[in-house]
Amino acid sequence: MRGETYLNVTNSLIGCLISMGKIEEAEKIFYRLRERNHISYNLMIKGYAMSGLFEKSKKLFNQMSLKNLASLNTMISVYSKNCELDEAVKLFDETKDEKNPLTWNSMMTGYIQNGQYMKALKLYVKMRRLSVDYSRSTFSVLFCACSSLGSFQQGRLLHGQLTKTPFQANVYVGTALVDFYSKCGSLADAQRSFLSIFSPNVAAWTALINGYAYHGLDLRQFYSSTQFDEGLRIFHSMEELYKVIPSIEHYTCVVDLLGRSGYVREAEEFIRKMPIEADGVIWGALLHACWFWKDMEVGEKAAEKLFSLALNPTVPLVILSNMYAVLGRWRQKSILRKRLQKLKLRKDPGCSWIELNNNIHLFSVRDKTHPYSDVIYATVEHLAATINSVIPFNYLYSKR
């Protein structure tokens, strides 16, 4: 076997090793090659990035004598993953006139990975204006942006555009859509989106089960609703009907569903009967449920499990402290508060956001970066002054 055929087979082997996480073995084969093509380089550049070896990715990219569009797209992804967004934008500016969908998708993904969701959405608008073709990945990444922003209106508009494409039944797009609607609180839309998927995989099932748990956050009597039964039915049908083996994420969803529905003891029993070892996320979900339903006995057990896993003790300490306070166990609360003080914690400032005229406005404590911050603060002061002037009047009037 010689020439191009040999190189194609070798590239396939390199790609296989990289997908298995064996970057060192792939590297050895790559550097033994007498001849390499752009596929060889792109595979290794991507492989280094997947292994967190970003400097090696950049070094290999700079060694390439001929860089094609695929190479540039790969490096946009590499720079984005390494939080070097400015470098990614530079490469994008060099290649965007090619109007290659992968280039634009890579840049939108880069924005999302770095928390710049609005820039991703704005780039999509520009993409459509320039008549750049879209792909299934285009919609997948944009629904992720809408989910992160909590932008229901933007997501619905995007869904409307999706219905005009052949991608609605695609499992990757459908999963992103289910996740978006679930996080925005529209379980009915999430269900319809799931049913439109041609062949749901594990990720799609996970998104739907998460949707039931997530949608139950504001339902105090969730356990008596048909949605609770439906969530468990879906979980059991995965293996029984569809031969999909549940993963740790699926078990976490069920524990969360049971706990938030008031079945705290049943959730604890479910954990103990699981065929796989419970992790910190599962015990954390149980502890949060104990806090909601004020089940001190199970809560202390869940907290002890979290402490034994050598994880950050802050969250279980805070939750237990609050539970002790609510139940009037002040001595135990005092002990936990002393442990918390020794950790020298610093609370991040709170933030919130609203969607107005298709734009997301973010606010945090004492933040004055918003362009209309002066007007906003002046309005708040005016409202506060008005409220203070009305209360005494109403109080006096009611006493007559």
**DSSP per residue, 43-84:** HHHHHHHHTT-HHHHHHHHHH-SS--HHHHHHHHHHHHHTT-
Whether residue 332 lies inside any domain: the answer is no
Residue 238 shares a structural domain with residue 167: no
Question: Which DSSP symbol is given to 198?
Answer: S
Domain count, the chain: 2
Is residue 247 located within the same domain as residue 213?
yes
In a domain, 391, yes or no: no
Domain assignment present for 182 = yes
My answer on whether 193 and 274 are in the same domain is: no
Task: Confirm whether 124 is domain-assigned.
Answer: no
Last residue of a domain, one of 280, 301, 322: 301
Task: Report the 3 state secondary structure along 142-171.
Answer: HHHHHHHHCCHHHHHHHHHHHCCCCCCCCH
Please list the pLDDT of the chain residue by residue as tens digits (400 residues).
456 777 888 888 888 888 888 888 888 888 888 888 888 888 888 888 888 888 888 888 888 877 888 888 888 988 898 888 999 999 899 888 888 989 999 999 999 999 899 899 889 888 888 888 888 899 999 999 998 888 888 889 899 889 888 888 888 999 999 999 988 888 888 888 887 887 778 788 888 877 776 655 445 333 445 567 777 888 888 888 888 899 998 999 899 888 877 889 999 999 999 999 999 989 988 998 898 788 999 999 999 999 888 777 887 888 888 888 888 888 888 888 888 777 765 544 545 556 566 566 666 666 777 777 888 888 888 787 776 554 444 443 444 4
Q: Are 46 and 23 in contact (CB under 8 A)?
A: no
Q: Map tokens 């569009």 to a residue.
A: 69
> Are 182 and 253 part of one and the same domain?
no
Judge whether 89 lies within some domain.
no
Phi and psi angles of residue 381, each rounded to the nearest 5 degrees, phi first: -60, -40
Residue 226 lies in a domain: yes
183 inside domain: yes
* Residues 152 and 223 reside in one and the same domain: no
Q: Read off the pTM.
A: 0.55
**Would 8 be classed as within a structural domain?**
no
Residue 216 and residue 251 in one domain: yes
Domain that holds residue 150: 138-197
373 token code pair: 């911050």
Question: Are 227 and 280 found together in one domain?
Answer: yes
Domain boundary among 267, 301, 335: 301
Same domain as 220, residue 183: no
What is the rounded distance in angstroms from the CA atom of residue 14 to the CA atom of residue 234?
Answer: 39
Residues 222 and 162 in one domain: no
Element holding 359 (H helix, E strand):
strand 359-364
Does 189 lie in the same domain as 279? no
DSSP secondary-structure letter at 96? Answer: G
- Among 163, 197, 231, the domain-final residue is 197
Contact (Cβ atoms closer than 8 angstroms) between residue 21 and residue 51: yes
Residue pointed to by tokens 């479910």? 270
Determine phi and psi for 341, rounding to 5 degrees. Answer: -65, -35
The per-residue b/e assignment along 346-369, b for 16 or more CB within 10 angstroms, e otherwise, is eeeeeeeeeeeeeebeeeeeeeee
- Residues 289, 214 share a domain: yes
Which CATH number belongs to the domain containing residue 292 in this structure? 1.25.40
